[in-house]
């Protein structure tokens, strides 16, 4: 696919900012999907398949980063990550299947709804009572599996890695932010890997675009991980939530 240099630069920027959002606040992985949907002529399967393929490397890098910083060395966080990942094995193929059944217009509306819901979830999280980041991790296996399944289906449908929805949901269920970010990175590797295989079987992945978006996204993952550990990200969360809520109507109309 031949695209204008400005479009290529914008897609790379969507990847960079999306990567920062993935590890800094969670809901960032939707930005590559939004960029490809708005700026390319790819089909819904092409958008989702290309976007989800970028999240294999970003998820692996995010997992390594949060292992290094200690969150994924915690037994409780690892257990949550394993349950989320197990649910992803079931949910991601379902999401891929649903994608092949929706029209371009239907995909636009569903993506707009997912983006709006994510924006609302971020706002809800920030308006809840503050919770200490070193508080004990208490999340039931049933709740974790339910979150993992819902997130995996949505991620497979839209080409997300998973943290976009799993981080705000896990935090709302009571998990502190950094363990939620860490567990979501591990889940995203499984979602992206399973989803990529599904879309590859449908011939729906544009590999040059995977590289164009995925390489800046990797750089963003490193930047976002550093931001999450040294910078108060409350304002960043509000900015992201506001951006997602503003984009949702445009996405629906664009379809």
- List pLDDT tens digits, range 54-102: 999 988 988 998 899 898 999 999 999 999 999 999 999 999 999 999 9
Domain ranges of the chain: 5-254
Q: What is the pLDDT of residue 129?
A: 41
Task: Indicate if the pLDDT at residue 188 is higher than 90.
Answer: yes
- Could you give the 3-state DSSP secondary structure of residue 204? coil
> How far apart (Å, rounded) are the C-alpha atoms in residues 143 and 30?
23
> Residue 148 above 90 pLDDT?
yes
Q: Using the 8-state DSSP alphabet, how is residue 129 labeled?
A: P
Reply yes or no on whether the pLDDT at 141 is more than 70.
yes
Interhelix angle 30-39/5-24, nearest 10 degrees: 160
pLDDT in tens, 8-54: 999 999 999 988 887 777 677 888 999 999 999 899 999 999 999 99
Average of pLDDT values for 199-221?
94
Cβ density class 207-233: b for 16+ within 10 Å, e for less: eebbebbbbbbbbbbbbbbebbeeeeb
**What would the mean pLDDT of 104-127 be, rounded to a whole number?**
86
Q: Using the structure block, give the residue that is written with the tokens 């390319």.
A: 40
* Predicted local confidence at residue 255, as pLDDT: 61
Instruction: Indicate the DSSP class of residue 72.
Output: G
Residues 108 and 116 sit within 8 Å (Cβ to Cβ): no
> Within 13 A of 112's CA, how many CA atoms are on the CB side?
17
* Positive/negative CA dihedral, 221, 166, 242, 213: positive
Summarize pLDDT for 221-255 with one digit per residue, the tens: 889 888 877 766 666 677 777 878 888 888 888 76
pLDDT of the residue at 136: 53
| Full-model pTM | 0.85
């Amino acid at each position: 696919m031949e695209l204008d240099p400005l479009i290529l630069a914008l897609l790379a920027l969507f990847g960079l900012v999306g990567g920062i959002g993935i590890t800094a606040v969670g809901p960032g992985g939707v930005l590559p999907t939004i960029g490809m949907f708005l700026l390319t002529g790819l089909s819904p399967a092409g958008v989702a398949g290309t976007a989800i393929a970028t999240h294999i490397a970003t998820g692996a890098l995010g997992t390594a980063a949060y292992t290094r910083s200690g969150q994924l060395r915690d037994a409780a966080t690892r257990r949550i990550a394993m349950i989320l990942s197990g649910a992803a094995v079931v949910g991601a193929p379902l999401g891929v299947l649903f994608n092949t059944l929706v029209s371009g217009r239907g995909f636009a509306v569903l993506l707009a709804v997912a983006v709006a819901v994510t924006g609302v979830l971020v706002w809800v999280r920030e308006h809840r009572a503050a919770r200490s980041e070193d508080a004990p991790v208490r999340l039931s296996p049933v709740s974790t599996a339910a979150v993992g399944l819902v997130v995996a289906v949505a991620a497979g449908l839209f080409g997300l890695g998973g943290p976009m929805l799993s981080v705000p949901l896990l935090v709302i269920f009571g998990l502190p932010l950094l363990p939620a970010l860490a567990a979501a990175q591990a889940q995203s590797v499984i979602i992206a890997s399973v989803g990529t295989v599904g879309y590859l079987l449908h011939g729906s992945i544009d590999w040059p675009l995977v590289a164009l978006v995925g390489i800046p996204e990797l750089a963003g993952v490193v930047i976002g991980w550093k931001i999450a550990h040294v910078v108060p990200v409350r304002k960043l969360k509000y900015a992201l939530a506001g951006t997602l809520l503003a984009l949702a109507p445009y996405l629906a109309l664009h379809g």
